Amino acid sequence: MPEKTVTIASRSGLHARPAKMFVQAAARQGVAVRVRVGDRPSVPATSMLGVLALGAEQGTAVILQADGPGAEEALDVLAELLSRDLDAEEAADA
C-alpha cells in the first residue's frame, strides 16, 4: 500500500485547527487515507478525534497511507499540507 512519511511543520503540532484543515482536506480526496505515528495503530485521516488522539507535535513524523486509484495524488496533497506551518497561516489571516 502506498505510504508517505511527513514531518509536522505547524508550530503547535497537529492540534485543533491544523488537524481540522487536514481532516477536511482528507475528506476531499477520492480515496480513503489513514494516518499513524510510528508503530501505533492507524486512524482514518477523516476522523477529527482519531487525528487528535495521535498527539503529533511539531517535528513528529506521521505516516500517511492510501490504496487504489488516486492514492499517490491524495498522499501528495495531504503531505504537502502537513509540511506547511498552518499556524503561521493563521497568524497571517488575523
Partner 1 sequence: MPDAAPLPLDPRAIRLDAEAGSRDDAIRQCGETLLAVGAIDEAYIATMIERERSISTYVGEGVAIPHGTLAGKDAVHHDAISVLRFPGGVDWDGEPVVLCVGIAARDDGHVRLLSELAQILLDPERAKALRETADAAEVFRLLQPAADE
Q: Which residues are catalytic?
A: 15
CB of 69 to partner 1, least distance (A): 28
Q: Which three cell numbers stand for residue 4?
A: 508517505
Q: Which residue, 4 or 15, is less far from partner 1 as judged by CB?
A: 15
Q: Which residue, 21 or 75, is less far from partner 1 as judged by CB?
A: 21
CB of 78 to partner 1, least distance (A): 17
Taken in order 16, 19, 25, 28, the sign of the CA dihedral is negative
Residue 15 near partner 1 by CB under 8 A = yes
Region 17-56 residues binding partner 1, contact defined as CB under 8 A: 17, 20-21, 37, 40, 47-56
Residue 92 near partner 1 by CB under 8 A = no
- Strands 3-7 vs 61-66: parallel, antiparallel or unpaired: antiparallel
Q: How far apart are CA 1 and CA 68, in angstroms?
A: 8
Residue 6 near partner 1 by CB under 8 A = no
Indicate the DSSP class of residue 29. S
Cβ-contact 34, 66 below 8 angstroms: yes
